[in-house]
Every structure is written in structure tokens, then in C-alpha cells.
Amino acid sequence: MTRAQASDDGTPTDAMAKYYARYATLGVGLLITEATYVDEAQSRAYFNQPGMANERHKAGWAAITEAVRRIGRPVILQLQHGGRLAEPGLHSWAIGASGAKADGVSWQRALPYAEAPVRAATREEIKHIVESFGRAAERARAAGFDGVEIHGARGYLVDEFLSLPGASLEERLTLPLAVVQAVRRAFPEGVVSYNWSLYKMTDALYQPPGGSEEVERIARALAEAGVDLVHVSTRDLTRVEAFGEPFARAVRRAIPATALILNGGIRKLEDAERTLKEMKADFVAIARALLANPDWVERATKGLPLREFVRGMEHQPLLQTFM
């Protein structure tokens, strides 16, 4: 639910504090923030995206955690490196896993990724990226968050490394696991979540080359590296992948003792209940339905009509409501 309405320098705003506090007030049990960039080099993905790359950012987020925790809800900061999916024009060049340009157009301004220069990250830059996730987690801890979530999904940098064509799974796992370990060291008592998808912003049909066995190996590696929660994101949780079953089922089978959050196509209360029961999820995450209905919890539990999400809502002002 990236909203890209921070200040120009990435500092969270007062409006963002009110935005997140509204969800807490209206009954959301756990808040996971929008994607937040980790350093002031090439990690920012969008114009006006919030960051956790300096002390100004930390102070801005501290006001948000205070507002949310005053209501009694936990809040987790999602950390991201945009990689080659950074908005064209945002950086002189973008850093990627291989230097290959992404296909398609960008999310924020629908510009062709082919227009954005990209190069492969050097060894030193990879080391810096891992350290930046750790430093951002340290700031999150100091700002009052209950934990952090690593954005390892949808083709952004961490996921690009995990999906790099031609590399072995061990090679592809190197950066994601290093990031998990850096975050775990920086925030030892906090919750560490890993957001994971198969689909990419520019490839809705991506499949892991090793099928369900690869999915299971990745899930176990994440848990062993120190992840408390695996947050599976899909377009449709019931979709049967090329390896013969829904993505979430393979993840659940691999890590039965690790908490699992599932997201994808959950609109009504019945969707959430079915996901918890049939997919054996511990939590469900709701994005678009919640954006269209800030009071989703009340509406869903009382059987009141729900407003449909319409593309473009994510670009509207933070506190515009649809109640």
C-alpha cells in the first residue's frame, strides 16, 4: 500500500501519523507500513517515498509509532531497496542484481524502465546494501517499532537477487539471507518478517525454476536465518502455480512452526476465514480492500456493504476516506 506522500526528502509527515493511527483506531490488529527505503544512495523506489535512512526519517517515524501505540496496536516497518524498479529519473542510475533493465513501465508515473540506466551492484555496494538494512532496522528499533519487515517481493532488489536467472539457489539466497541476518542482529528482540511473492511488478507469471522444492528450500532457509514471520503476497491465494499447488501451501508445508501471513484477494470476511482455515495461515493481510474501506473491520464483521477498490485510489490523499 505504498502511498508516496512523505516530504520531498523522505521524512514522514504529520498526515502519515494520522493516516496510520486511523487504521489502528478502526480495529486493524497489526499495522505493516508502506515500503520504506534504507539508504540515501539508490534504494529509494519512488518520489516522495518515506525513508529510514537518517535521523530526520527516524524522528518522523517515531511520531507515527507513538500515535499508533497510544491506541494499543503493534506496528512493523517495512524496509525496501527499489533496485532496478526505481522510478525512472529518480536516480542517475539504478542498481540491480545483474544490470539488466526491467521490462514494462513504472508504477508511479508509467514510464518505460528502458529509459532508466541500470548497472549491476559491485561487491562493495552489496556489502553497503546489507549494512543499510541493518542500520535502518536499528533506527526502527529506536523509533519505537515492534519489528521490521524485509521487502523481498515483487522484483525489487532483494527479490531480484533471489530470482536471478542462471544462478544456483545458494547463490541467489546469499543477499536475502545476509539482509535477514543483518536485520536480526540490529533488532534482536523485535519481530522480523519477510515479505515474499512469486509475481513481479513487471512479470505477473514468474515461476521459480525449481518449482515447489525450491519454494520449500527458500522458506526453510529464511526461517533458519532468523525470520519470525513469512508474509506471502499473491494476486490470488487460491491460484494453482505451475508446480501444481498454491504458493502458500508449499510455504506452509515447509515451515509449519513459523508464523505465516497470507495476502492476496482477501476482500470479505469469508475470504479471511477461508484463508485461515484452508491455508493454515496464522494471520491474513489486507491491502486494497482496506484502502477502499478504512473501517473494513466493522463493515466486514457486521455484514455492511464494502466499497470496491478502484485503480487510482492509491494515489489519492492519505486521509481521504471512503466510509
Residue range 223-259, pLDDT digits in tens: 999 999 999 999 999 999 999 999 999 999 999 999 9
Label residue 322 by pLDDT band (50, 70, 90). confident
- Asked whether residue 2 is assigned to any structural domain, the reply reads no
| Rounded-to-integer distance, Cα 138 and Cα 52, Å | 10
* Catalytic member of 156, 194, 199, 206: 156
Residue 285's contacts (CB-CB under 8 Å, 6 or more residues apart) are 32, 231, 233, 261, 262, 263, 266
Pull the grid cell for residue 279: 491455508
- Count up the domains in the chain and report the number: 1
* Structure confidence by residue, pLDDT tens digits, 78-135: 999 999 999 999 999 999 999 999 999 999 999 999 989 999 999 999 999 999 999 9
Coil vs helix vs strand at 19: helix
Share of the chain above pLDDT 70, in %: 100
Longest distance between any two alpha carbons in the chain, whole Å? 54
Report the mean per-residue pLDDT for the chain.
96
Assess whether pLDDT exceeds 80 at residue 321: no
pLDDT band with cut points at 50, 70 and 90 for residue 174: very high
What pairing do the DSSP bridges indicate for beta strands 229-233 and 283-284? Answer: unpaired
Task: Assign residue 305 the CATH number of its domain.
Answer: 3.20.20.70
Active site residue 199: no
Q: Which domain holds residue 170?
A: 14-315
Per-residue model confidence (pLDDT) at position 80: 98
The verdict on residue 323 lying in a domain is no
Q: How confident is the model at residue 212 (pLDDT cuts 50, 70, 90)?
A: very high
**Is 222 a member of any domain?**
yes
Q: 1 in a domain, yes or no?
A: no
Q: What is the pLDDT of residues 69-83, one digit of tens each?
A: 999 999 999 999 999
Average pLDDT for 6-33: 97
Q: Report if pTM > 0.95.
A: yes
Q: Domain for residue 5, yes or no?
A: no
Average pLDDT rounded to a whole number, residues 206-228: 98
- Give the DSSP H/E element, type plus range, for residue 77: strand 75-80
The residue among 124, 108, 143 whose CA lies nearest residue 2 is 108
- Look up residue 94 and give its DSSP letter: E
Mean pLDDT, residues 148-164 taken together: 98
Q: Is residue 48 part of a domain?
A: yes
Residue 6 is assigned to a structural domain of this protein: no
Torsion angle, alpha carbons of 105, 111, 116, 119, to 10: -20
pLDDT for the residue numbered 323:
66
Report how far apart, in Å, the C-alpha atoms of 14 and of each of 21, 61, 64, 245 are: 11, 10, 8, 44
Q: What is the DSSP letter of 61?
A: H
Query: Residue 1: its pLDDT value, please?
Result: 87
pLDDT in tens, 183-200: 999 999 999 999 999 999
- Span 283-304, pLDDT tens digits: 999 999 999 999 999 999 999 9
Torsion sign, CA atoms 247, 165, 114, 35: positive
In a domain, 293, yes or no: yes
By mean pLDDT, which of 37-46, 205-214, 281-290, 312-321 is the weakest?
Answer: 312-321
